[in-house]
Amino acid sequence: MAADYADLDGLKAHWPLLPSDREGEAGQKLHEASVEIRALYPDVDARIAAGTMDADIPRLVVCRMVKRAMTAPATPGGEGGLGSIQQGAGPFSQTLNFSNPDGAVYLSKADRNLLRTARGHKRAWTIIPSGGAV
């Protein structure tokens, strides 16, 4: 079994306000986030070993994933991951929008960009009607 990309000490350095009574949950989520990265980006370990990826990148992404999952806002009733509430007065309407209701770990677009394989810089070019290229 491969080691997790981040540990509890690393998460505490990233997120100093981690509640001490939730450290067990955090440890499990660190593992889940590492598993998800390995499943979606199976070449990450090889890129780290080859020196083409800094080991701090998946460590940062895992810490972001765990913090995001554990800080999903909750309603007074205890529902987690509430994104917004909309209420009306008459004829009595109420809408709840959940952004991460089960507190799952997930990759954001920024996380995916950090983990993707680096591509060379692309140059803009055009074809001039006279036949020359710029």
- Top pLDDT among 62 and 2 is at 62
Question: In which band, very low, low, confident or very high, does the pLDDT at 71 lie, cut at 50, 70 and 90?
Answer: confident
Q: What is the pLDDT of residue 76?
A: 47
Sequence spans of domains, the chain:
8-76+105-115
Res. 75: pLDDT tops 50? no
8-55: pLDDT as tens digits: 999 999 999 999 999 999 999 999 999 999 999 999 999 999 999 999
Three-state SS for the chain is: CCCCCCCHHHHHHHCCCCCHHHHHHHHHHHHHHHHHHHHHCCCHHHHHHHCCCCCHHHHHHHHHHHHHHHCCCECCCCCECEEEEEECCCCCCEEEEECCCCCCCCCCHHHHHHHCCCCCCCCCCCECCCCCEC
